[in-house]
Amino acid sequence: MAYRGEGRWRIARENTYTWPSVVVGLFLVAVGLFMVGRWVGFVLAGNMPEGLWTVENDRYLVFRIGAEGTVALLAVLGGLGLLRGRPWGTATALVALGGLLHSTVDSLGFSLLSVPESSPLLLGVLGGVLLSFVGLHFGRR
């Protein structure tokens, strides 16, 4: 929030640290970094033999990597914004949580059919995302 004071514009910073915002911030940073690490490891392991035009399950992987990379970036930025008490942190975190919700449900559907051992991890992330929405709602000031 900006206000006029002493002849110049200043930014009023409300460092509103609440326990839910700290926990959600740490969760978002951890999940965002995990997502980046997962895709970097996937690419470096040689799982994209055709480069950007690699197709898996009738979809180009580059679009999925781009979308999940964007969600990961928003998760890290939103988490850091929440941890630092920035006003834009909550909005960025909510957008990131929406992307994580979609990505987790999509990945869970795929893992149940092909890689069932990763399903508990994805169910945990799904539960964390849903609890994060609740935590941000009730942790508001």
The string of pLDDT tens digits covering residues 89-138 is 999 999 999 999 999 999 998 888 888 898 999 999 999 999 999 999 88
Structure tokens at 29: 């940073």
Note the pLDDT of residue 12: 46
pLDDT of 70 above 90: yes
Note the pLDDT of residue 59: 83
d(CA 99, CA 52): 22
Over residues 57-86, the mean pLDDT reads 92
pLDDT of 53 above 90: no
- DSSP track, 22-33: HHHHHHHHHHHH
Structure tokens at 119: 């399903």
Note the pLDDT of residue 96: 97
- DSSP track, 121-137: HHHHHHHHHHHHHHHHH
Query: How does the average pLDDT of the chain come out, rounded?
Result: 87
Q: Which of 15-19, 55-59, 107-111 has the lowest mean pLDDT?
A: 15-19
Note the pLDDT of residue 58: 82
Note the pLDDT of residue 139: 78
What per-residue string of b and e applies to 60-96 under the rule 16 or more CB within 10 Å gives b?
Answer: ebeebbeebeebbbbbbbbbbbbbebbeebbebbbbb
Q: Are strands 2-5 and 55-56 parallel, antiparallel or unpaired?
A: unpaired
Percent of the chain scoring above 90 in pLDDT: 59
